[in-house]
Structure 1
């Protein structure tokens, strides 16, 4: 990419890394856009440099091995790209995991729902396979709450993994509203002290019918509000929320946006599972690089739409491609140096400082 030095200045200002590390990050991002894989050998081949292939590869290995960035600072950078302190934030929490050889790679991530896709903000690697536990979730939130100082958290959205007495009490103590899906066979206690399976409260629901219970119900020793929807396949979708309201199901539906994020980091974008890196701190750093690339792609896709390069709607009513892919396509052209318009390149750089578009 042309203007590597300008990209380096922008990233250094927000991340606070040394100039050599930030410059390597700039080259890494440009090569990543070009090849769209996290395989370091492939990235090394795409970096334009007078150094040998082996030298470029060793530079990348050292980049992922030799320092630990501030993930809170990185999260703050990504947050400010999309949100102001006047915005209401719906946080969404989830895991993605896969196996490389005998090694389990298990990422617990917190994102913010945004235009049908989640923006990655903070993540950790779990030293195990399977579900997170309460303490791991609490640790994640404690460290990420520093990022959200001055911002309004409207709700935390999570799937059935994210249920528990201590977990719910932590969220209530810290005044974090939540909308969490729960299993249908959990026991609940009504205001008369009667214990029953939660599914029995909604047994009369018909397909695509929803119901909201006005009174607070005790679940795992914590009082919550319950809503349910009978899905078209017959399954019950039951939501426990900390706040009364009949829109809990619609709010919870935005949880899916973090699944879309994971798809973009993996098969639809950067092929995260192609990495042969297994050491946790290095995988975490790789996700950080992808988070910057992903957010830059979203910003670029938005800008293209604002400039009249709209995404075509197909006959079945769905867009031809996502906002993420719309931006990634242009950044890939820039990374491959098949885009020769300096004006477009410079404005893509300005998107990283959230600078409004000003026509020349």
Structure 2
């Protein structure tokens, strides 16, 4: 990045400017989260939130990011995140803390549900979601213990033992899981593994809804190996990493918006013979932004349109928000 900055300053000076940014500049993460949310969603949209972690190790330092995003066109839009000062799974208190921070961002938006993998279970956690009227669709372990309406205790996979590959089943009677009433759905994957989803309300499409959880994995891929190579950073200070994720969140969302705009202009993504797109919407947008940033693209009209994508249409009279 230092080499790409046009300046009369020396290379070392440009590099120090970037270092000072991550040391001194302070985000309002509340304002940033609202900005990213409003780039893609209006208050009429029902949002599916998806929660997950991404982690890696640099030397003896464990970098562990707990992220909350919103499902959007096969990818999650990053909204709120926190650094966990440890290795391994998040605990209930950390999840509640993240959700409480995010609640200020999502205020006024209808939440359709929260999607999470097998890490995100527990009595206190489920009851916190129910107390705040947040529906959930969480994958559970096949050996989890449940109590049926008749008071019988069994492993949850015993209820779906007859399922064949690619066959799904929904149980419309509530069971007790960690002392909380939930409804169960299951899908036998092609490799024979059971995917079991616990939902807070009866929903025959629980498996289909839960499938959108994967969109946050796509986000992590874009932030890391298939996009910005976040794992290559040698930054280990939690505050600086949180700030780095904030910068990349803006760049990621800008790339998605740019990819959408290119498709609207007739620059559609080519579909290959096997039926899959040649590249993602994210990559389609990032390619153009890199050309602009590296001054390969000299068309002022296209550059102007790229900049306009970061302008939010006001949702209230006489109010707008712009980040550049």
Q: When the two structures are superposed, what TM-score results if normalisation uses the length of structure 1?
A: 0.86
| Structure 2 residue ranges without an equivalent (≥5) | 315-324
Q: Using CA pairs below 8 Å that are at least 6 residues apart, which structure has the higher relative contact order?
A: 1
Provide Cα deviations, 1:214-255, integer angstroms capped at 9, x if missing partner: 111100010000000011100000000011111000000000
Distance 1:355 1:136 in 2: 34
Partner of 1:297: 255
Distance 1:278 1:326 in 2: 31
Partner of 2:303: 345
Map of 1:118-267 to 2, 5 A cutoff? 118-267=76-225
**Secondary structure at the counterpart of residue 139 of structure 2:** strand
Matched, 1:57 2:34: no
Partner of 1:83: 41
**Secondary structure at the counterpart of residue 278 of structure 2:** coil
Could you say which structure has the higher strand fraction?
2
Partner of 1:317: 275
Map of 1:15-54 to 2, 5 A cutoff? 43-54=1-12
Distance 2:147 2:98 in 1: 30
State the Cα distance separating 1:96 from its structure 2 match. Answer: 0.3
Distance 1:355 1:162 in 2: 35
State the Cα distance separating 1:156 from its structure 2 match. Answer: 0.4
Distance 1:326 1:45 in 2: 24
Equivalent position to 2:243, from 274, 280, 285: 285
Distance 1:276 1:128 in 2: 17
Partner of 2:318: none
Structure 1 runs of 4+ aligned residues shifted over 3 Å read none
**Secondary structure at the counterpart of residue 105 of structure 2:** coil
Distance 1:270 1:322 in 2: 14
State the Cα distance separating 1:355 from its structure 2 match. Answer: 5.7
| Structure 1 residue ranges without an equivalent (≥5) | 1-42
Partner of 1:18: none
Aligned length: 314
